[in-house]
């Protein structure tokens, strides 16, 4: 076992300090050390997007980040999307039945948030391109894409 | 995963010193989208992982009409295509940067990592060859520059020596009436590794009727990205049009020496070498004319 | 009666009860579980596709600090050779046990040889490297046709062909040869005006659920086992754990966690018995095992590669008068491919008087084939639907007309035996015929030289009913706590709560559904075979009737009348002038006889087959062989859409899986039987960018056997896509594809470019 290192990072807006080995991925740290099991492991090699989180606002696969790299950074996971109310994306995913088994949902929500922050008015093609790194095997993507477009519209109306 | 220690290097000299001391036991961590997977799957091993993302020189992204473009080896794709000015100047580079992985991979993956991984299918490599990039390499003995087409030694192997750190790429400023493009063939539309790819740059005469310079490189058809100077040379002096483009595509195809693997067969790759060269040239010409 | 029924809840689109947990990351899936003293396990797998295991030395691994237990084949008692129906197929416990943990032979690349539990996964992984296995490498059998040859190496020496019911005498890879015969095929072919005969080859594919298999278990000192897992079938898992580890059934409890997709691949145990065996050895500490994606692809799922020959003959009028199919499916390393279902699907949509199907289950050195959404159906329908279109073209008949002319209807006997009850296939053809899609011009190609084609195909799936149990408690606030036992993979809790709410006249929100486990609710068959909304819906309805009867008793007690005198309309209970709502009455249970809880256990019957007809527009890049799906419309007989969004979702998901199978997905092995593409980058499932919107047409022809008219909807949508796409490619470029996947390389080969 290699030595554990102390890391401090802001996670979903909260200052946090944790111990981890350099070989532990950020995904592992979130799930096993910090008990934030919202990010899922679908592949552990960057291929599925189920582990998507925002690292300083940038969309990344947490399975391809070392926990120690989080030092001084800010991380947003699916657990950080809702305040007192659901985020429009979360609500639209529910209303549009954009999840079936739901294992891909946390990744899609985080990725969609990153998309809408960059591009509040995406076309269907832009949504599909941006989300191509997030695999869903249940829905055929139709309702996910519709939910993201609906959330974008709702957020534009509110802005 | 195997145990290793982690150092976030703050300077080129700090990183080179560790690399020189540890040799093959040290591995550079840039965006980590290759190395973390390789370490996890036991395809590479390390005692120490040297994170180079905090080194200022590796994060440089600057353009100067005289000196051209400098891209630090640790600049991630999303920063490259997020820069509107660069996007207009180097559309070929943007083709590559927006193709690598999905959005989340592009949030981490760097140009330096793509080049040092030295996959024959790496999506930035033919483009960098077409754009005449030079690699700035630092070691304890100072820095040196290597032309990108001389950087690769085989699948997964580069000419970097013990203690070497890739610092940045230098790309000349685009010539007038020039255009570049990169295209890859993949069965899906995203999240796939190139079966065959082509990166090209062309420069046309002032009236845009004749080729005056061209560089053509192919991916995934040889042990390293394949620079095909004779394909570019064949265009020079020729009128811009299908005849010249097809001739260059056939030369590129003749140079391709692909293998069959799970991603494609040798015959398929040979055939696609011409198709991709032709299509990429068409885009580059359109851009040069615009 | 059903036709005129007015529904208040059924047909609406409420939000699922587990929804908020699933969009906030709080839902607990199998791998999310945390237990006190939890150990983490990893599994050692054979690097060879076929080998004799001479010895396994775990001594160094056991000594590694942090390692708590190591198990090998020696830790598994000999399992009975009994074969039982479980999940969607048949399970032989001896083979199941050997598949979980190899004994003396490694039968595929990825076959488990040992497992380790340690204080963390990294140590468990390091321990695997210390295990020494001495293999004698044998020649692998990798191809179904080669495996059937007399001179092929034999995978399982003990297997004898079940040849039309008779046991063979010599070792073989052909586990069984079955035949269905209807009428006189030879004579009918002799009379045919047009005959088409084609051969098809399809690859091995995986279910591709995004959540890898996981299993966590405690083996307690009293000998009981508790397992937490992502499973489609908690009761089948319980049975398997019990049989494999020789623990009495009632001593095993399986707690189904939220599940990240299954599609037939999570009907059987892979890890739970190993976790329990490790726990037993590790001082009864709980052990969690999870698979990597590479392990998922190497060792779970997949579904069968196949070779099929289909021949059909028609008379001049376009009536198909004879059909013959020869089908061989890969079973993987143990007998039991979905060939039986494939043989039902292949001619399922058609009415023939003369048909014969010869079908073979063939053992090869690949992972044991499992069910995958309409098991065995997609590849079978691919073959048949291409041949039907070919016949139609030769006869100059429109492909939809051809299907209308030859489509099965009530009273027709299917080639494999059963006679159809009230089915609604033709309605799905009509729906496509009048659809906006079918009646609009084909889109223009996006680049010069590309070609656009349109194709149609149909599909059949049998659907299952099976056993379902549920229970309910009436709360004093008038809400109903509802415990059901079918795994919810995509909104089932909502669809069942809706049926219960409809039955007892309450609002959907008044039902609080929850998934039970093998200890808390009665027996339930798997969520598979498109049965759960049907069978567990029936249980919900029956439960509702029982609740009503109990409430009638309480109303009767309130008013001092006989229960039969209490009328029920919606949520209002009345007798003469007196009336009380369900809610009000629930508040007075204690005064009227005490609390109410009810439960039901049913062996449901009456599931009906469903049919789908689909149309696709595809653009073919002739130079590269690449396909782009431009437009897709899927019509399906859905019986009654309880929650229409979830029905649409099933169709859309099924279609896209079918298209993935049709276009890209396949296992790539090297000549030694190593799986080369064990990652989601190289096992190419469709991404969002590969697909258009999938338009759905819900044809509602209610099932008279079900109180709300439900038919299973989940599986049939994956049946037609490959055939529809092949027919669209033909329309575009005049080439009939005969191989799956129809990937760029295979398209270029079919065109003759390479
Ligand atoms: C899901 C997925 C999809 C992908 N898709 C694509 C794709 O479409 N196209 C493509 O080309 N690639 C793809 N890749 C591969 C990978 O993302 C790229 O090669 C990427 O550019 C690597 O950059 P990185 O910064 O992540 O490299 P790292 O993993 O950090 O490093 C890669 C290698 O380079 C070495 N290295 C890095 N920087 C330096 C330096 N400055 N000096 C010396 N050595 C150095 C490292 O030690 C390591 O050996 C994909 C990967 C994944 C996981
Ligand atoms: S788990 Fe990280 S991308 Fe799949
Ligand atoms: S909802 Fe199951 S994988 Fe997307």
**What ipTM is given for this predicted complex?**
0.98
Instruction: Look at B189 and C125 and tell me if their CB atoms are within 8 Å.
Output: no
Q: How far apart are CA C308 and CA C202, in angstroms?
A: 9
Q: Which ligand is nearest to the CA of B189?
A: 1
* C221-254 per-position pLDDT tens digit: 999 999 999 999 999 999 999 999 999 999 999 9
CATH 3.30.43 segments of chain B: 5-51
Fold (CATH) for C306-461+608-751: Aldehyde Oxidoreductase; domain 4 (3.30.365)
What's the whole-model pTM score? 0.98
Cβ-based contacts under 8 A for chains A and B: 87
Q: How far apart are CA C697 and CA C687, in angstroms?
A: 23
Instruction: Look at C653 and A138 and tell me if their CB atoms are within 8 Å.
Output: yes
Find, in chain B, the residue whose alpha carbon is nearest to that of C685.
B188
In the predicted model, what is the mean pLDDT of residues C311-321?
A: 97
Fold (CATH) for B178-289: Enolase-like; domain 1 (3.30.390)
**Average predicted confidence (pLDDT) for chain C:** 96
Q: How far apart are CA B205 and CA B289, in angstroms?
A: 10
Q: Where does the pLDDT of residue C529 fall: very low under 50, low under 70, confident under 90, or very high at 90 and above?
A: confident
In the predicted model, what is the mean pLDDT of residues C539-555?
A: 98
Tokens of C470: 């549920």
Tokens of A86: 């659901």
Instruction: Look at A46 and B8 and tell me if their CB atoms are within 8 Å.
Output: no
Put simply, the chain A residues between 40 and 99 with a CB less than 8 A from any chain C CB are 40-45, 47-48, 50, 77-79, 81-82, 86, 90-91, 93-97, 99
- What is the distance in A from the centroid of ligand 3 to the CA of C91? 28
> Which chains does chain B touch, 3 or more C-beta pairs < 8 A?
A, C
Place of tokens 């937490």: C228
The answer, for B84 touching chain A at a CB cutoff of 8 Å, is no
Which residues lie below 8 Å from residue B64, measured CB to CB, with a gap of 6+? B173
CA of C21, closest CA in chain A: separation in Å? 10
Chain A residues whose beta carbon lies within 8 Å of the beta carbon of residue C691: 128, 140-142
DSSP character string of C671-731: TT--BS--STTTS-PPPGGG---EEEEEE----TTSTT-----SSGGGSSHHHHHHHHHHH
Q: How far apart are CA C428 and CA C413, in angstroms?
A: 20
Instruction: Look at A5 and B1 and tell me if their CB atoms are within 8 Å.
Output: no
Instruction: Look at B40 and A44 and tell me if their CB atoms are within 8 Å.
Output: yes
Ligand 2: which of A45, A67, A77, A132 to mutate, judged by most atoms within 8 Å of the beta carbon? Answer: A45
Question: What is the model's pLDDT at position C416?
Answer: 87
Please answer whether residues B141 and B17 qualify as being in contact, where contact means their C-beta atoms are separated by less than 8 angstroms: no
* Residue whose CA is at the smallest distance from ligand 1 atom 21: B114
The answer, for C25 touching chain A at a CB cutoff of 8 Å, is yes
Architecture in CATH of A88-158:
Orthogonal Bundle (1.10)
Fold (CATH) for C19-26+464-604: Aldehyde Oxidoreductase; domain 4 (3.30.365)
Please answer whether residues A70 and A116 qualify as being in contact, where contact means their C-beta atoms are separated by less than 8 angstroms: no
Please answer whether residues C723 and C386 qualify as being in contact, where contact means their C-beta atoms are separated by less than 8 angstroms: yes
Q: How far apart are CA C330 and CA C144, in angstroms?
A: 6
Q: How far apart are CA B95 and CA B98, in angstroms?
A: 6
Tokens of B225: 């990205």
HSE, side-chain direction, 13 A CA sphere, residue C648:
20
Q: Where does the pLDDT of residue B164 fall: very low under 50, low under 70, confident under 90, or very high at 90 and above?
A: very high
* B177-210 per-position pLDDT tens digit: 999 999 999 999 999 999 999 999 999 999 999 9
Q: How far apart are CA C355 and CA C182, in angstroms?
A: 5
Q: Is the CB of A156 under 6 A from ligand 3?
A: no
Question: What is the model's pLDDT at position C671?
Answer: 96
Q: How far apart are CA C673 and CA C48, in angstroms?
A: 7
Dihedral of alpha carbons B152, B154, B157, B160, sign: negative
User: How many residues are listed for chain A in this entry?
Assistant: 159
Q: How far apart are CA A23 and CA A5, in angstroms?
A: 11
DSSP character string of A27-76: HHIIIIIS--TTS--S-SSSSS-TTEEEETTEEEEGGGSBGGGGTT-EEE
Backbone φ, ψ for residue C181 (5° rounding): -130, 135
Taking alpha carbons only, the member of C751, C749, C753, C709 closest to residue C733 is C751
Tokens of C342: 């494939």
Question: What is the model's pLDDT at position C1?
Answer: 36
- What is the distance in A from the centroid of ligand 2 to the CA of B4? 22
pLDDT over 60 (residue C214): yes
pLDDT over 50 (residue C3): no
Place of tokens 């961590």: B29
Q: Are strands C39-45 and C287-290 parallel, antiparallel or unpaired?
A: parallel
- What is the distance in A from the centroid of ligand 1 to the CA of B72? 14
CATH of domain B56-171: 3.30.465.10
Ranges of chain A with pLDDT below 70? 1-2
Element (DSSP H or E) covering residue B52: none
Instruction: Look at B272 and C687 and tell me if their CB atoms are within 8 Å.
Output: no
* B29-87 per-position pLDDT tens digit: 999 999 999 999 999 999 999 999 999 999 999 999 999 999 999 999 999 999 999 99
Instruction: Look at A64 and B8 and tell me if their CB atoms are within 8 Å.
Output: no
Question: What is the model's pLDDT at position C515?
Answer: 96
Q: How far apart are CA C282 and CA C279, in angstroms?
A: 5
- Where does residue B262 rank: exposed (0-12), middle (13-18), buried (19+ CB within 10 A)? middle
Question: What is the model's pLDDT at position C92?
Answer: 86
Tokens of C154: 């034999």
B5-51 classified as CATH 1.10.8: no
Q: How far apart are CA C285 and CA B2, in angstroms?
A: 25
Q: How far apart are CA A159 and CA A153, in angstroms?
A: 10
Ligand 1: which of B41, B112, B120, B129 to mutate, judged by most atoms within 8 Å of the beta carbon? Answer: B112
CATH of domain C33-138+208-299: 3.90.1170.50
Fold (CATH) for A5-77: Ubiquitin-like (UB roll) (3.10.20)
CATH 3.30.365.10 segments of chain C: 19-26+464-604, 306-461+608-751
User: How many residues are listed for chain C in this entry?
Assistant: 754
Q: Where does the pLDDT of residue C79 fall: very low under 50, low under 70, confident under 90, or very high at 90 and above?
A: low
Q: How far apart are CA C623 and CA B274, in angstroms?
A: 10
Q: Where does the pLDDT of residue C85 fall: very low under 50, low under 70, confident under 90, or very high at 90 and above?
A: low
Percent of chain C whose pLDDT exceeds 90: 96
pLDDT over 80 (residue C135): yes
Termini Cα distance of chain C: 60
Considering only CB atoms, C261 lies closest to which of A38, A94, A138, namely A138
Taking alpha carbons only, the member of C511, C515, C509, C523 closest to residue C473 is C511
Question: How many C-beta neighbours within 10 Å does residue B161 have?
Answer: 12
């Amino acid at each position: 076992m290699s030595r554990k290192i102390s890391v401090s990072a802001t996670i979903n807006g909260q200052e946090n300090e944790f111990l981890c080995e350099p070989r532990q991925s950020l995904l592992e740290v979130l799930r096993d050390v910090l008990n934030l099991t919202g990010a899922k492991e679908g592949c552990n090699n960057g291929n599925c997007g189920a582990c998507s989180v925002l690292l300083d606002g940038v969309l990344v696969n947490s399975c391809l980040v070392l926990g120690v790299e989080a030092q001084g950074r800010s991380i947003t996971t699916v657990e950080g999307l809702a305040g007192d109310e659901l985020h429009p994306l979360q609500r639209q995913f529910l209303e549009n039945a954009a999840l079936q088994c739901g294992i891909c949902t946390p990744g899609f929500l985080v990725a969609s948030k990153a998309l809408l922050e960059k591009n509040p008015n995406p076309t269907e093609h832009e949504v599909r391109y941006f989300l191509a790194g997030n695999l869903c095997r249940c829905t055929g993507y139709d309702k996910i894409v519709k939910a993201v477009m609906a959330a974008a519209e709702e957020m534009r109306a509110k802005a | 995963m195997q145990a290793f220690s982690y150092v976030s290097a703050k300077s080129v000299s700090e990183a080179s010193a560790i690399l020189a001391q540890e040799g093959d036991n040290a591995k550079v961590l840039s965006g980590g989208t290759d190395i973390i997977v390789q370490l996890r799957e036991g395809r590479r091993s390390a005692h120490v992982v040297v994170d180079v993302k905090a080194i200022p020189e590796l994060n440089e992204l600057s353009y100067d009409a005289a000196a051209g473009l400098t891209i630090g080896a640790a600049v991630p794709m999303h920063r490259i295509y997020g820069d509107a000015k660069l996007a207009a100047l180097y559309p070929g580079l943007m083709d590559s940067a927006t193709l690598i992985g999905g959005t989340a991979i592009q949030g981490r993956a760097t140009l330096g990592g793509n080049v040092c991984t030295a996959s024959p299918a790496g999506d930035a490599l033919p483009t960098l060859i077409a754009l005449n990039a030079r690699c700035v390499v630092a070691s304890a003995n100072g820095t040196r520059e290597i032309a990108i087409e001389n950087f690769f030694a085989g699948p997964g192997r580069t000419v970097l020596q013990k203690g070497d750190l890739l610092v940045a790429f230098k790309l000349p400023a685009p010539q007038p009436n020039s255009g570049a493009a990169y295209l890859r063939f993949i069965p899906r539309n995203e999240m796939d590794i190139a079966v065959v790819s082509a990166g090209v740059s062309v420069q046309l005469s002032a009236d845009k009727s004749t080729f005056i310079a061209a560089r053509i490189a192919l991916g995934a058809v040889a042990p390293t990205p394949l620079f095909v100077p004779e394909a570019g040379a064949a265009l020079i002096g020729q009128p811009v049009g299908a005849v010249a483009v097809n001739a260059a595509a056939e030369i590129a195809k003749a140079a391709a020496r692909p293998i069959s693997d799970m991603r494609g067969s040798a015959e398929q790759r040979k055939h696609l070498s011409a198709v991709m060269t032709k299509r990429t040239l068409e885009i580059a010409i359109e851009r040069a004319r615009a | 009666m059903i036709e005129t029924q007015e529904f208040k809840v059924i047909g609406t689109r409420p939000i699922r009860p587990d929804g908020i947990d699933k969009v906030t990351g709080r839902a607990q899936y199998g791998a999310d579980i945390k237990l006190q003293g939890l150990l983490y396990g990893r599994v050692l797998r054979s690097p060879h596709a076929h080998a004799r295991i001479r010895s396994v030395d775990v001594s160094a691994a056991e000594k590694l600090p942090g390692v708590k237990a190591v198990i090998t084949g020696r830790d598994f008692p000999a399992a009975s050779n009994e074969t039982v129906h479980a999940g969607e197929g048949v399970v032989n416990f001896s083979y199941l046990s050997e598949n979980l943990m190899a004994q003396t032979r490694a039968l595929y690349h990825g076959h488990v040889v040992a497992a380790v539990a340690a204080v963390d996964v990294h140590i468990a992984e390091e321990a695997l490297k210390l295990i020494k296995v001495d293999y004698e490498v044998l020649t692998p059998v990798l191809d179904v046709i080669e495996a059937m040859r007399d001179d092929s190496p034999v995978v399982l020496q003990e297997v004898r062909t079940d040849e039309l019911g008779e046991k063979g005498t010599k070792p073989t890879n052909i586990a069984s040869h079955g035949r269905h015969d209807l009428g006189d095929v030879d004579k009918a072919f002799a009379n045919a005006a047009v005959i088409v005969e084609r051969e098809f080859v399809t690859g091995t594919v995986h279910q591709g659920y995004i959540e890898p298999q996981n299993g966590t278990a405690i083996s307690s000192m009293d000998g009981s086992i508790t397992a937490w897992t992502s499973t489609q079938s908690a009761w089948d898992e319980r049975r398997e754990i019990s049989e494999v580890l020789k623990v009495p059934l009632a001593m095993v409890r399986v707690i189904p966690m939220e599940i990240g997709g299954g599609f037939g691949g999570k009907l059987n145990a892979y890890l739970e018995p190993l976790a329990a065996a490790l726990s037993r050895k590790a001082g009864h500490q709980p052990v969690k095992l999870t698979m990597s994606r590479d392990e998922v692809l190497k060792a779970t799922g997949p579904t069968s590669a196949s070779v099929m020959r289909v021949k059909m003959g028609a008379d001049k009028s376009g009536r198909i008068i004879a059909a013959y199919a020869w089908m061989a499916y890969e079973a993987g390393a143990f007998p039991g491919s979905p060939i039986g279902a494939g043989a039902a699907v292949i001619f399922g949509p058609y009415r023939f008087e003369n048909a014969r199907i010869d079908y073979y289950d063939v053992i090869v050195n690949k992972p044991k084939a499992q069910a995958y959404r309409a098991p065995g159906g997609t590849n079978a329908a691919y073959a048949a639907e291409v041949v039907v279109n070919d016949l139609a073209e030769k006869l100059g008949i429109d492909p939809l007309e051809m299907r209308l002319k030859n489509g099965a209807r009530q009273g027709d006997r299917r080639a494999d035996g059963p006679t159809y009850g009230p089915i609604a296939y033709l309605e799905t053809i009509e729906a496509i015929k009048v659809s906006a899609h079918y009646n609009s011009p084909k889109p223009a190609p996006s680049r010069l030289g590309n070609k656009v084609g349109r194709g149609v195909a149909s599909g059949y799936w049998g659907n299952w009913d099976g056993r379902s149990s549920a229970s309910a408690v009436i709360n004093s606030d008038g809400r109903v706590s509802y415990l059901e036992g079918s795994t919810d993979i995509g909104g089932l809790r909502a669809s069942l709560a809706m049926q219960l709410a409809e039955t007892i006249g309450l609002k959907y929100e008044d039902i609080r559904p929850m998934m039970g486990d093998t200890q808390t609710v009665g027996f339930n068959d798997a969520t598979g075979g498109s049965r759960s909304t049907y069978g567990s819906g029936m249980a919900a309805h029956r439960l509702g009737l029982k609740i009503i009867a109990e409430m009638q008793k309480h109303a009767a007690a309130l008013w001092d009348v006989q229960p039969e005198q209490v009328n029920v309309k919606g949520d209002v209970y009345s007798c003469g002038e007196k009336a009380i709502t369900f809610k009000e009455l629930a508040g007075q249970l204690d005064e009227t006889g005490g609390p109410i809880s009810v439960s039901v256990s049913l062996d449901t019957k009456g599931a009906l087959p469903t049919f789908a007809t689909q149309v696709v527009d595809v653009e073919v890049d002739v130079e590269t062989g690449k396909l782009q799906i431009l437009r897709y419309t899927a019509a399906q007989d859905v019986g009654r859409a309880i929650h229409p969004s979830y029905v649409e979702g099933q169709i859309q998901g099924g279609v896209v899986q079918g298209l993935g199978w049709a276009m890209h997905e396949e296992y790539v092995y090297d000549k030694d039987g190593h799986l080369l593409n064990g990652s989601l980058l190289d096992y190419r499932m469709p991404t969002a960018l590969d697909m258009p919107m999938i338009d759905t047409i819900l044809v509602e022809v209610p099932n008279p056997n079900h109180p709300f008219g439900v038919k299973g909807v989940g599986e049939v949508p994956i049946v037609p896509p490959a055939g529809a796409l092949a027919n669209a490619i033909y329309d575009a470029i005049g080439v009939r594809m005969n191989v799956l996947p129809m990937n760029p390389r295979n398209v270029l080969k079919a065109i003759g470019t390479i």
